């Protein structure tokens, strides 16, 4: 007869069975039996006590992004659960595999408005890949295995388990479960030979092909396959923000970033190519601009594992449904080795124009206050372009994505689809646990940092070696830029009165320094990277530093402003 254990202990064993080694969480009343069981698993389940439940889910996201594993967060019921909702929605938008375990009142109390009762399943179903309430201890092993299978298979995403208190305390004869099949759920569809052949024919007939790479390339672990395909057919490519580390920044076919704050060349050439090849991206509105004029001259092939993305925003000519780690090599076998030198050289004048009008001034300013672009580029180069880049949201994010450089995969942790301020600090903490052998550089603004500044306490307790680069312009900078450009400089509630961040960091035992003069910057960056453990480097940034180029909202994607 199998040993009888509590449902809470069954959860611990099920998590270990799934290979979980790090949990981010915060205890409370309805999850207390589970935390009591966790006390006996300290050697295998490393629990990181955050300072707010939203920090737990963002940390789990950061961990998942850099490690390729499923992130895991554990919180209590009621406000503990509702505090995770932003992170769950963020993970859903950005296809991040994560399992969130929430405490819940006992089944007998459900529907009575009991203390800290919330309908977690009802709230999270629209923003998660699967949401399920565990009501019996007998269901723990199955639910956990199913949750991890759903979270990591196909297009990844978040799963929420609502763990009733009686299911935590009830007894069960535990046996590990292994779920690898769910009826009606087909995460890895079979390749359709005719579609592969049609794609190869379109590519072989193309004179001006252009590829758009999204995070799907990285999620599939398909860097080598996609690179071999692009090089064989000599197809230039651009990337989304989340796809920035799909390929090395200096790859000769890499023409830069797509979209509103991307590079001029890729956006202009999107509306000049004869074939657009989208791989693992969703044609977000920030990438396409005005849909009425987006790539109307081009045939479009869309490779994606999620069929719901086909024709959702942009009408396409051919859908290749499947994992690009298998579909891309299948197409690559059939494409001709090609040369598109004259087409590729057409990107050069736009790159030169953008460099002269925007980039050179952003990273090599002759005088005046520090600029975000120069700080980002100097940090990237000082870290040999090998660090993990984490950002918050706003101008800090846009400048970081534009001027940080990448050589290694899984190097971008940023909130793309949801644009969550406060994401950066906890996500960077998670990244240090997901990639403990890599430098983790967080770029954040004074607004976003204050949204999760309590997580400095987590950094203090864990010694998490986050290198925080605070780009402080005393504004909610991105909103201020829009107010400058589109609202006649009416800076409505965007100026910030800020605390002494250096003093706050030191109060948490974190080394800190403030740089005002350009002459101090190189030495300060070197000191930050050389200092073991966490570090906060505050840079006093020009208040009206603007992210350019920019496609105005509603404009055609190739109508980029190079100056204000």
Which are the contacts of 126, defined by CB distance < 8 A and separation ≥ 6?
Answer: none
Buried/exposed 359-390: b ≥16 CB within 10 Å, e otherwise: bebbbebeeebbbbbbbbbbbbebbebebbbb
pLDDT of residue 1: 59
Q: Say how far apart CA 153 and CA 281 lie, in whole Å.
A: 17
pLDDT of residue 287: 97
Render each residue's pLDDT in the chain as its tens digit; 564 residues: 578 999 999 999 999 999 999 999 999 999 999 999 999 999 999 999 999 999 999 999 999 999 999 999 999 999 999 999 999 999 999 999 999 999 999 999 999 999 999 999 999 999 999 999 999 999 999 999 999 999 999 999 999 999 999 999 999 999 999 999 999 999 999 999 999 999 999 999 999 999 999 999 999 999 999 999 999 999 999 999 999 999 999 999 999 999 999 999 999 999 999 999 999 999 999 999 999 999 999 999 999 999 999 999 999 999 999 999 999 999 999 999 999 999 999 999 999 999 999 999 999 998 999 999 999 999 999 999 999 999 999 999 999 999 999 999 999 999 999 999 999 999 999 999 999 999 999 999 999 999 999 999 999 999 999 999 999 999 999 999 999 999 999 999 999 999 999 999 999 999 999 999 999 999 999 999 999 999 999 999 999 999 999 999 999 999 999 998
Within this chain, domains 193-348 and 369-540 share the same CATH topology: yes
The pair phi, psi for residue 99, each rounded to 5°, is: -120, 125
With 0-12 CB in 10 A as exposed, 13-18 as middle and 19+ as buried, what is 336? exposed
Name the E strands within 3-139.
4-6, 22-25, 46-49, 71-75, 98-104, 130-134
Q: At what angle do helices 372-382 and 521-530 cross, to 10 degrees?
A: 40
| Domain boundaries of the chain, sorted by first residue | 4-173, 193-348, 369-540
The pair phi, psi for residue 160, each rounded to 5°, is: -115, 130
C-beta of residue 65 within 8 angstroms of C-beta of residue 244: no
- Is this structure's pTM higher than 0.95? yes
Nearest to 35, CA basis, from 148, 143, 146, 169: 169
pLDDT of residue 62: 98
- In the block, which residue shows the tokens 């992170």? 87
Q: Say how far apart CA 142 and CA 291 lie, in whole Å.
A: 44
C-beta of residue 478 within 8 angstroms of C-beta of residue 261: no
CATH T-level assignment (fold) for domain 369-540: Rossmann fold (3.40.50)
Cis status, amide bond into 549, omega within 30 of 0: yes
pLDDT of residue 308: 96
Q: Spelled out in words, what is the top-level CATH class assigned to the domain 4-173? A: alpha beta
Residue 337 DSSP class: P
Name the E strands within 141-223.
158-164, 171-173, 209-213
Q: Provide the 3-class DSSP secondary structure of residue 504.
A: helix
Start-end of H helices in 18-94: 32-38, 53-67, 79-82, 85-93
Q: Give the helix/strand (H/E) hosting 324.
A: helix 324-334
Nearest to 264, CA basis, from 373, 145, 354: 354
The tokens of 280 are what?
């693992």
Residues in the chain: 564
Q: Say how far apart CA 466 and CA 459 lie, in whole Å.
A: 8
pLDDT of residue 564: 84
Q: Provide the 3-class DSSP secondary structure of residue 6.
A: strand
User: What helix, strand, coil percent values describe the chain, rounded to 5?
Assistant: 40, 20, 40
Q: Provide the 3-class DSSP secondary structure of residue 41.
A: helix
Residue 355 DSSP class: I
Q: Spelled out in words, what is the top-level CATH class assigned to the domain 193-348? A: alpha beta
pLDDT of residue 405: 98
pLDDT of residue 3: 84
How far is the CA of 173 from the CAs of 7, 42, 137, 176, in angstroms?
A: 9, 23, 9, 10
């Amino acid at each position: 007869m199998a040993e009888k254990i509590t449902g809470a202990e069954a959860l611990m064993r099920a998590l270990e069975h799934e290979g979980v080694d790090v949990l981010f969480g915060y205890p409370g009343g309805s999850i207390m039996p589970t935390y009591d069981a966790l006390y006996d698993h300290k050697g295998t389940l490393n629990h990181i006590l955050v300072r707010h439940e939203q920090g737990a889910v963002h940390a789990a996201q950061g961990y998942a992004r850099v490690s390729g594993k499923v992130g895991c967060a554990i919180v209590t019921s009621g406000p503990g659960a509702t505090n995770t909702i932003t992170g769950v929605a963020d993970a859903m938008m950005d296809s991040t595999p994560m399992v969130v375990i929430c405490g819940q009142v006992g089944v007998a109390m459900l529907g009575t408005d009991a203390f800290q009762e919330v309908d977690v399943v009802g709230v999270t179903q629209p923003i998660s890949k699967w949401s399920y309430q565990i009501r019996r201890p007998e269901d723990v092993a199955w639910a956990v295995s199913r949750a991890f299978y759903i979270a990591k298979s196909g297009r990844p995403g978040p799963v929420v388990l609502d763990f009733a208190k009686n299911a935590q305390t009830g007894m069960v004869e535990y046996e590990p479960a292994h779920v690898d099949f769910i009826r009606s759920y087909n995460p890895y569809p079979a390749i359709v030979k005719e579609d592969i052949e049609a794609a190869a024919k379109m590519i072989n007939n193309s004179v001006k092909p252009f590829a758009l790479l999204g995070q799907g390339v990285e999620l599939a672990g398909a860097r080598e396959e996609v690179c071999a395909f692009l090089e064989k057919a000599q197809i230039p490519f651009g990337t989304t923000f989340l796809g920035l580390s799909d390929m090395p920044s200096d790859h000769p076919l890499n023409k830069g970033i797509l979209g509103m704050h991307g590079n001029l060349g890729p956006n202009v050439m999107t509306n000049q190519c004869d074939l657009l090849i989208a791989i693992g991206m969703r044609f977000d509105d920030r990438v396409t601009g005005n849909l009425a004029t987006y790539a109307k001259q081009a045939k479009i092939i869309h490779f994606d594992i999620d069929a719901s993305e086909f024709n959702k925003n942009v009408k396409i000519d051919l859908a290749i449904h499947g994992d690009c780690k298998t579909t891309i090599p299948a197409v690559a076998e059939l494409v001709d080795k090609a040369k598109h030198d004259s087409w590729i050289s057409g990107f050069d004048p736009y790159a030169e124009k953008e460099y002269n009008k925007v980039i050179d001034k952003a990273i090599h300013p002759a005088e005046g206050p520090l600029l975000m672009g120069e700080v980002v580029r100097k940090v990237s180069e000082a870290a040999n372009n090998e660090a993990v880049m984490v950002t918050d949201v706003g101008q800090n994010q846009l400048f970081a994505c534009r001027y940080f450089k990448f050589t290694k995969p899984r190097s971008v942790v940023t909130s793309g689809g949801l644009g969550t301020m406060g994401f950066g600090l906890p996500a960077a903490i998670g990244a240090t646990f997901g990639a403990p052998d890599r430098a983790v550089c967080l770029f954040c603004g004074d607004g976003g940092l204050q949204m999760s500044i309590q997580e400095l306490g987590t950094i203090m307790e864990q010694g998490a070696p986050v290198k925080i680069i605070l780009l402080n312009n005393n504004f909610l900078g991105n909103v201020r830029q829009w107010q400058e450009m589109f609202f006649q400089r009416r800076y409505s509630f965007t100026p910030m009165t800020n605390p002494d961040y250096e003093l706050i960091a030191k109060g948490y035992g974190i080394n800190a320094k403030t740089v005002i003069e350009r002459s101090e910057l190189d030495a300060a960056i070197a000191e930050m990277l050389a200092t073991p453990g966490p570090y906060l480097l505050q840079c006093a940034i020009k208040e009206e530093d603007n992210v350019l180029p920019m496609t105005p909202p509603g404009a055609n994607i190739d109508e980029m402003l190079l100056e204000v």
